[in-house]
Homo-oligomer: A and B are copies of this chain.
Amino acid sequence: MKKPVILINFKAYDTSFGKKGVEIAKQIEKISMEYSTEIIISVPPTEIYRIASEVSLPVFAEHVDSNSLGAYTGSVTPEMVKEAGGKGTLLNHSERRIRIDEIAEAINRSRKLDLDSVVCVDRNELVRAIGTLKPTSILIEPPELIGSGISVSKARPEVITEAVEQIKEFPEVMLIAGAGITSGEDVATAIKLGASGIGVASAVMKAKDPMRVVEEFVRSAKSV
C-alpha cells in the first residue's frame, strides 16, 4: 500500500457487482492512471476474480474468514482471495465485525500470502490493540459518521490526530481515516492531520458521477 492511500469500499450496492461493478472499476482505473496514483478497491467476494481480471488496480476482499482450508462451507479464505487475483483484504468493518482471534489469524494468514490487511476499528481505544497484531493498515472510522456525509476530518479531527499519535508505536502499520468523507477537502484535511490516506464508500458508490468524486479525491490527496 502506497501513500496517499485511497481505498474505495464497494460494499453491496447495486453498482458494486456484475457489469456495473466492472464499469466503475474501469473508470477508477482511468483516474488512477491519469494521476499516477494507486487506488485500492475492495469488492464483494464474487467480484474479485472478474474485476481483478479486467483492471490493474489492487483489488481487495471486503472480508476474509479465518478458517483454514478444508471442510468449511460458505467461507472465503485468504488463499481464495489470492488465487482470484486479490491483493489484500479489509477486516472487521463495522458492517462485518469479527473476533480478536479471527482478526489475528486472518492478518497472519494474509501476511504469509503477501496479501495486505486493513483492519477497521471504530474508536481510538482499539488502535493500539490492533497495532500489536501488525496488519498493513488500520482504518479508523467512527461508525456514527459512516455514510453520514459528515466527515471525520471535519466533525472529529481529534480522532485522526490521536490515532496518528498512537500508530507511531507501530512504525510498520499505516493509519487510514474514514467515515463520512465526501469532498476533496475532507481528504486533504485527513492527510494534513497525519493520516496515510482515506477510506470511502457511499460518496463514490452512490454518486451520480463517481468519476468526478474520485478525481476530486485524488487531486486533493496529491495536493497536500
Measured CB to CB, the residues of A under 8 A from B are: 9, 11-14, 16-19, 42, 44-50, 61-63, 67, 69-77, 79-81, 83-84, 90, 92-101, 103-104, 121-123, 125-126, 128-130, 132-133, 146-147, 201-202
Contacts and interface: CB of A to CB of B under 8 A. Distances in A.
Query: How many copies of this chain sit in the oligomeric assembly?
Result: 4
Contacts of A62: 73-74
Given A46-B76, A46-B80, 17 more contacts: A9-B73, A11-B71, A12-B67, A12-B69, A12-B73, A17-B80, A17-B83, A45-B45, A45-B76, A46-B83, A46-B84, A61-B74, A71-B147, A97-B101, A100-B129, A129-B129, A129-B133
Interface centre among A61, A70, A94 (most CB of B within 10 A): A70
Contacts of A93: 73-74
A17 B45 CA distance: 13
A132 B147 CA distance: 29
Nearest to A68: B12
Contacts of A13: 69-71
Given A13-B70, A73-B63, A99 B98 contact: yes
Given A80-B46, A83-B17, A101 B126 contact: yes
A122 B101 contact: yes
A168 to B, nearest CB: 14
A194 B176 CA distance: 39
Contacts of A84: 17-18, 46-47, 50
B128 A11 contact: no
Contacts of A104: 123, 125-126, 129
A90 B73 contact: yes
10 contacts: A11-B70, A45-B74, A46-B48, A46-B49, A46-B83, A63-B73, A72-B96, A74-B96, A97-B101, A129-B133
